[in-house]
Amino acid sequence: MPRRKRATRSKNELDKALESVLYEMVILATAMLLRDRRYFFKEYPDLQWGPPQIAHDVIRLKSRLLFDFFYSKDDKDIIAEDFISFPIVPLDRSGVKLLRKFKDKVNKWTVHLSWSACGRS
C-alpha cells in the first residue's frame, strides 16, 4: 500500500519544528555529559540515584523521541522526512519487521513498564 503524501510545510513551520528537534538533541547531549559527572554534586557524597539516574532517564526518553523523529509514520508528528524535498524509499518487508522489533525492544526497556521486560509475557 503506497504511503500517503505528507502535508507540505512552510519555511516558518519547518524553522519552528527544527528548533524543537535541536532542543531535544541538546538535552540528550547534556544528559549524556551529566550521566557520569558526579563531581558536579560533591556536596551530596551519599547520592546514589539522583542526577545520574535522572540523566539515564533523560537519555532514554530523548533517544525514544528522536527515534520517532526518524521513523514515525504519524501525520501529526514532526519527522525527518518533513525537511527533505525528495521521496524516501520505503523499507522492504524484512526491514520493516526488523525496525518494528527494534522499536518494541527500545519501548519496553526505556519508557514503558512491561511484563515482557521483566521476563514475563
Amino acid at residue number 20:
S
Distances (CA, A) of 19 to 13, 14, 16, 80, 85: 10, 9, 5, 13, 19
For the chain, the straight-line distance linking the first and the last C-alpha, in angstroms and rounded, comes to 32
pLDDT band (50, 70, 90) for residue 118? low
Question: Using CA atoms, how far apart are residues 104 and 79, in angstroms rounded to an integer?
Answer: 19
What pTM was estimated for this model as a whole? 0.56
Question: Quick one: which of 86, 73, 88, 78 has its CA closest to 25?
Answer: 78
- Region of 28 (left: φ > 0; alpha: ψ -120 to 50; beta: rest) is alpha
Q: How many helices (H) and strands (E) does the chain have?
A: 3, 0
Please write the tens of the pLDDT for every residue from 73-100: 788 889 888 888 766 677 788 988 888 8
Q: What letter does residue 6 receive in the DSSP assignment?
A: P
Phi, psi torsion values for 113, nearest 5 degrees: -90, 120
Please write the tens of the pLDDT for every residue from 28-74: 888 877 776 655 556 666 656 566 677 778 888 888 888 888 888 78
